[in-house]
Structure 1
Amino acid sequence: MATASSSSSSPPRPQSGSATESLEAFERVHALLRRYNDNPEDVPDMAEQMRALLPDSVFIRDLRTEDWQDIVRYHLRRYDVARAVIDRHLGAPSSPGRR
């Protein structure tokens, strides 16, 4: 069962703001997903890490490592699609790894 905890080392929770702030939050979540995908042992507290990056309104449950691996892979694929849409909207060329 998930419990709320506050830690002085946790980054501030994102709040509604500009599109730039939203994009920065999006990139932080992607970096965490990529880090976890590369080495799950590097992020043993994945649920807590995600809770620190996402607004309080997003519920993150505690999951087994195998479940996190499936979820992370799924969201990394979705990230590539979303990033391509964002880049296209901003008029930025897509990077080679993104379509």
Structure 2
Amino acid sequence: MAKSRRSPSRSTPSDAQGAWLRRGLDQPGGKLPLFDERGQRVKKATVEACLKAGWAERWFDNPLKPDWLVCRLTEGGRAALEGDGRTDAASTGDAAEEMDESRHDARQGALI
């Protein structure tokens, strides 16, 4: 009997997915951002994977930008984040601090 080549679905989000989903934890209605901390669009593959896993859901259509997926965090997404052990305030702050440091380092490099 041949084995299936499909990989099993993830029970926890990847680092990129988790980072995007965590940003909805403190937003009204669990709104997930369209752009990352650097002002770049969140990758469509990240959004679609989270939608497929049930961690996010489409919230509403944007008539001015129909290609933008406006999403919000689901209860399943909150549960998946609790399962990855990185939803406490300290770890979220550490990740934000690391991002700030990397942006600072990048600016320093650009100035040299």
Normalized against structure 1, the TM-score is what? 0.36
- Tell me which protein shows more strand as a share of its residues: 2
- From the CA coordinates, give the structure whose radius of gyration is larger: 2
Q: TM-score, normalised on structure 2?
A: 0.33
The structure richer in helix per residue is 1
